[in-house]
Structure 1
Amino acid sequence: MSWLRKLHRLKLDPKTYFSTKCEEKTVYVSKSTDIFTNLAVEDFIYNNSDFKNFNLLMLWQNEPCVVIGRHQNPWLECNCAQLTSEGVKLARRNSGGGTVYHDMGNLNLTFFTSRECYNRKTNLELISRALYKAFRLKVDISTREDLVVGDFKVSGTASKLGRTTAYHHCTLLVDVNKDRLRKALNSPLSDVETNATKSVKSRIINLTELKADLDVESVREAIASEYLSGTGRLQTIGCEEDTFPGLRKIRERLLSLEWRFLKTPDFKITRVVSSSPKLDVVLLVVKGVVAKVQIVREGSLNANEFSDVFSDLEDRTFSNDLLDEFDMLVKEWKNTDEILLTKNV
């Protein structure tokens, strides 16, 4: 039985342990490979810990999934239909930043500290130092605070800052399936207007392409050893409800339609029917739901006369299928005699 489970069974608040009197470092290695479970554990630790005198590094891996930032648009960041067909999970995390692809060739790291001790660069320097000591790999920190080798990115980074607690998490591309990554992150969406955070495309490289004999396990050991520096402890953790009370509820929220899709910042998709005279059809999506289809025109066209063509799309959750339906309606409408006559007025 783990120490944290014992505390729970004794009805002691985990905060009591985390508020230790002395400075201490611990590394958690998660047994779970489910993205929603690992994000839930991350969220639990963040919201139930006092890191005033205690630092924690969580190391975790996931089965194939795409993870978007808190303020991103999933349809704009990835190919949702492709993910569904290949059984790749889609998750939205609590931190900001861009979209990443995970599989078992990717190592994820979460550095938990107090807000006062939060320092991305220190964490990245530790990773860089560990990779050089163990494998003689020279990995630099870019101006965007990513880990790079030359012009190629090997790690992305994001963070969440609270009033007293913070975490910085990052990916590390060890031996990721790059072909699957590219397909997953290749969105078919176009002509979108939004304030959602957009990912910055980068060229990537796996660490195994630089040194063939390393793997995720050896990289994990190297980073854990560097972090602990012989003074802390490493612990493998199970991700069960009795270890982390309320974990199931957190996971359910992260898995929900409301969190993954309906939290999407508002966006508009425009389709051009005619450039002269101007005639556009605009799909307005608010909180993941089609709020309105607008016909924007100039000249003599009465927009209200044709608005019922798209009325069945309104009040429906946006999806790739709905977008296909919208494009089909636009195409059919564009070719009608009424539109052709109107354009010639």
Structure 2
Amino acid sequence: MRLAIKSVKAFRTGYRCYSSVPETFSKSIYVSKETDIFTNLALEDWFYSNLDFTNEEVLMLWQNKPCVVIGRHQNPWIECNFAMLPYIAGGTKLARRNSGGGTVYHDLGNLNLTFFTNRKAYNRKRNLELISRSLKSSFKINSEITPREDLCIGNMKISGTASKLGRNSAYHHCTLLVNTNKNDLSLALKNSLEECVDIKTNASRSVKSPIINLKEENKDIQVKEVMAALIQDYKKTTKTFKDFKIIEDINEQLFPGITYIRNQYCSVAWIYEKTPKFQLWKNIPLLDDEYSVVKLSLSVDNGKVTNVELNIKDRTLSESDIGLKDFYLLINNLVGKPFSQELLDEFELVASGLKNSQLCRDIVHNNVL
């Protein structure tokens, strides 16, 4: 999906062609002073869709106030503590980015880097090597690139990576944990949904890893100092450094169409309805018969409930089964509703009411079947 509007010339970079070798491309750095996740994602997408990277490369540096950012193909209800986000760090936003990969937590103790290139020049390892060299030379911090192309200190991750590859353009973006609030990160990324229900999904799952802040290796390090070091080291990778801009204001005059892009990123349709379909269920055992279980399941597609079922012994029960008409009238009220914490509470209430009810006993003991 390309959210941005093509053929826009308002933001001029003045690049020229020098060579097909990536290291001799003209390069520029843009630092966003915006700290809203949706605005920064929109700016990133705008650059990707509107700049010509045939013979040029760009590094974008940016930070966000507390937010959880899931990958394009992920399930937000599985990847984060969605019910608690409004109460974490004074209010933590939830966003879906346009690249794959796993879920990350951002705050102002984290630095984000986006490396834009043409498709042929795309090289994640080269970008991570730049970061690793910069940490070593400026802060005496040794880091290594893992086979998964994460940046680690020992077995502790300091940077996660994701990418978007188009026909002609590409970008690789990554986080860099300088002094992130690890307690808020841990709470925000806690999977609370699977503590109460079972889930089946084809959505990409995040791989949990232990993390460490650079501050734990060098107590004097600051985000602004890391940013300054990276800017200087990125400049050294080319003979033709063209431009450095601090972007204070991200508006329609400079970036035509960016309001539309931002609105798309913060929409319910993008954050929630893009979630791959999934199913969740509760197995409801009878206290007086541990081998008898009724399964209450709920299917969600495009962020909305599409079906609610009651199963026993691999058989789906319908409202035409004796005694189930009123029950299905109740649970069918969930169909069509957006999946949310409130809906999950309703589902839990139905499951709780069903447990050890006479209806459940009738089903199990074949009085209904």
TM-score (normalizing by structure 2): 0.87
Question: Following superposition of structure 1 onto structure 2, how do residues 1-345 of structure 1 map, counting pairs within 5 Å?
Answer: 13=9, 17=13, 20-22=16-18, 23-86=25-88, 87-190=91-194, 191-229=198-236, 231-232=240-241, 233-238=243-248, 239-274=250-285, 276-298=291-313, 302-304=317-319, 305=324, 306-345=327-366
User: Is the 8 Å Cα contact of residues 15 and 26 (structure 2) preserved in structure 1?
Assistant: no
- Compare 33-42 and 272-281 and name the one that shifted more: 272-281
Q: Deviations over 1:34-57 (max 9, x none)?
A: 100000000000001111111000
Superposed displacement of residue 294, structure 1 = 1.2
Q: What secondary structure does 1:294 align onto? A: strand
User: Is the 8 Å Cα contact of residues 294 and 360 (structure 2) preserved in structure 1?
Assistant: no
Which residue identity is paired with 1:103?
D
Which residue identity is paired with 1:284?
S
Which residue identity is paired with 1:319?
S
Q: What residue ranges of structure 2 are gaps of 5+ in the alignment?
A: 1-6, 19-24
Q: What secondary structure does 1:123 align onto? A: helix
Structure richer in helix, relative to its length: 1
User: Is the 8 Å Cα contact of residues 10 and 256 (structure 2) preserved in structure 1?
Assistant: no
Paired residues in the alignment total 335
Distance between the aligned counterparts of 2:70 and 2:31, measured in 1?
23
User: Is the 8 Å Cα contact of residues 15 and 50 (structure 1) preserved in structure 2?
Assistant: no
Which residue identity is paired with 1:79?
N
Q: What residue ranges of structure 1 are gaps of 5+ in the alignment?
A: 1-10
Which 4+ stretches in 1 moved above 4 angstroms?
Answer: 14-19, 299-302
Superposed displacement of residue 215, structure 1 = 0.5
1:328–1:15 distance in 2 versus 1, CA, 3 Å: same
Distance between the aligned counterparts of 1:113 and 1:310, measured in 2?
51
Q: What secondary structure does 1:81 align onto? A: coil
User: Is the 8 Å Cα contact of residues 73 and 196 (structure 1) preserved in structure 2?
Assistant: yes
Q: What secondary structure does 2:172 align onto? A: strand
Superposed displacement of residue 300, structure 1 = 9.2
Distance between the aligned counterparts of 1:321 and 1:111, measured in 2?
40
Distance between the aligned counterparts of 1:63 and 1:16, measured in 2?
28
Q: What's the counterpart of residue 22 of structure 2?
A: none
Q: Deviations over 1:298-333 (max 9, x none)?
A: 399954224223111110000011111101111102
User: Is the 8 Å Cα contact of residues 18 and 54 (structure 1) preserved in structure 2?
Assistant: no
Q: What secondary structure does 1:163 align onto? A: coil
Distance between the aligned counterparts of 2:302 and 2:133, measured in 1?
43
Distance between the aligned counterparts of 2:66 and 2:356, measured in 1?
42
Distance between the aligned counterparts of 1:222 and 1:334, measured in 2?
60
Distance between the aligned counterparts of 1:298 and 1:41, measured in 2?
52
Superposed displacement of residue 21, structure 1 = 2.6
Distance between the aligned counterparts of 1:39 and 1:76, measured in 2?
22
In percent, how many aligned pairs have the same letter?
48
Distance between the aligned counterparts of 1:301 and 1:76, measured in 2?
26
TM-align CA RMSD: 1.9
Q: What secondary structure does 1:244 align onto? A: coil
Q: What secondary structure does 1:80 align onto? A: coil
1:148–1:335 distance in 2 versus 1, CA, 3 Å: same
User: Is the 8 Å Cα contact of residues 18 and 51 (structure 1) preserved in structure 2?
Assistant: no
- Compare 328-337 and 94-103 and name the one that shifted more: 328-337
Distance between the aligned counterparts of 2:92 and 2:121, measured in 1?
36
Which residue identity is paired with 1:74?
P
1:114–1:301 distance in 2 versus 1, CA, 3 Å: closer
Q: Deviations over 1:5-25 (max 9, x none)?
A: xxxxxx982587466233311
TM-score (normalizing by structure 1): 0.93
Which residue identity is paired with 1:291?
T
Distance between the aligned counterparts of 1:75 and 1:298, measured in 2?
28
Distance between the aligned counterparts of 1:20 and 1:141, measured in 2?
33
